[in-house]
Amino acid sequence: MVMCGSASATCLPPERPWLPSDATDVRAYADLIREDFESYIADVQDYFRCLDAERARAFLEAQEVSQDYGRFQAIVSN
């Protein structure tokens, strides 16, 4: 599950799909296992997008804070 908020993102990585070690179980549950893998692939792509968005947001915030700090420094040095 990937959750992204507008104020600050919480990017949660998807749970890795489980693959049984027994080939008989793999064949018996092939449809469910396939769905798990396909869901993981879609969810991990959403997770990467969330991380990219959070990185961009944090970078912009850091620039704004740096500008605020410059204004602060200008005020206290006068």
Convert the pLDDT of each residue in 15-58 to its tens digit.
999 999 999 999 999 999 999 999 999 999 999 999 999 999 99
pLDDT band at 9 (very low <50, low <70, confident <90, very high): confident
Q: Record the pTM.
A: 0.74
Cα separation, 29 vs 76, in Å, equals 68
Assess whether pLDDT exceeds 60 at residue 7: no
Q: Give Cβ neighbours of residue 16 (< 8 Å, ≥ 6 apart).
A: 40
Mean pLDDT of 48-76: 98
Q: What is the DSSP letter of 19?
A: -
In this structure, are residues 29 and 73 in contact, taking their beta carbons and an 8 Å threshold? no
In this structure, are residues 54 and 9 in contact, taking their beta carbons and an 8 Å threshold? yes
